[in-house]
Amino acid sequence: MIDQESSLEFQRWLKRPSNPPIMADKFVFADEAGCFTFKRKAGASRYFLLCTFTTEDCSLSHDLLQIRRELVLNGDSERDKLHATTDQQATRDKVFACLEAHTFRVDATLLEKSKAQPQTRITEATFYQYAWYYHFKHVGRKLLPTTGKMLITAASIGQKKTKAAFKQGINNTLQQTTPRDKWEVSFIDSSKDPLLWAADYCAWAIQRKWEIGDVRSYELIKSKVFTEYDLWSYGDTHYY
């Protein structure tokens, strides 16, 4: 049995004041497009692109989840996310219709890989960190909330052994470019948050514009794209 003193202590514990949860004022979702192949060959991208999708309202998640559920109901039982590169055009049309209906900001930094000096691409994680550094140096201050924090969610890349290096690259970049009390980073599989799917779609649309001049999908999100920063646009030296 619980004695009276223990019962009173338990009641006092239940009534204790609790600290309010810290809420993010802005949500930043990041994805990349392009590959880490630094040579001219079939299938290798010209650019590596880092794209951020910034919003104060995550309600778009519900619309994207509904599209995924419809795909499952129609027989795609293994479907765990939306992915622009592999989705059917009918699915893309639905996703872009959802994107058009919501308010958000897109920023992209493009690195023309043939202009990357050898020391910037010693490893894939090194080059990835360069992309993050220049992206946040260029737009980081514009994304900061006036109060509270921004939660930065990045789609994890790399193999099991290298994921830690990619995540560390993001953290190192933000520590150099952004006040530490203003951000937290989550580095997760893209299937775990629908707004990573939105970032993927935006990155895909911008990449197709720059790589092959296809602006069909880009035109649908053009009004949301605030910056497209071609980092080495003024360089004329190619290393391969």
The domain limits of the chain are: 21-230
What H or E segment, with its residue span, contains residue 67? Answer: helix 60-73
> How confident is the model at residue 2, as a pLDDT?
55
Place of tokens 């129609």: 74
CATH placement of domain 21-230: 3.30.420.10
Alpha helices in 41-190 (DSSP H): 60-73, 89-100, 124-143, 163-177
Judged by DSSP in three states, 121 sits in helix
pLDDT at 92: 98
Report pLDDT for 124. 94
Residue 192 half-sphere exposure toward CB, CA atoms < 13 A: 9
Per-residue pLDDT at 158: 81
The pLDDT value recorded for residue 160 is 78
pLDDT confidence of residue 25: 87
Report d(CA 233, CA 60) in Å as an integer: 34
Residue 159 pLDDT: 79
CA angle 207, 152, 161 (to 5 degrees): 80
Q: How far is CA 224 from CA 17, 25, 38, 206, in A?
A: 42, 19, 31, 12
pLDDT at 15: 61
The reported pLDDT for the residue numbered 172 is 93
Instruction: Measure the CA–CA gap between 37 and 138, rounded to whole angstroms.
Output: 25
Q: From CA 205, how far away is CA 200, in angstroms rounded?
A: 9
Q: Please give the pLDDT value at position 3.
A: 59
Phi–psi pair at 64, nearest 5 degrees? -70, -40
Task: Write down the residue that tokens 């994680």 correspond to.
Answer: 125
User: How confident is the model at residue 4, as a pLDDT?
Assistant: 59
Low-confidence ranges of the chain (pLDDT < 50): none
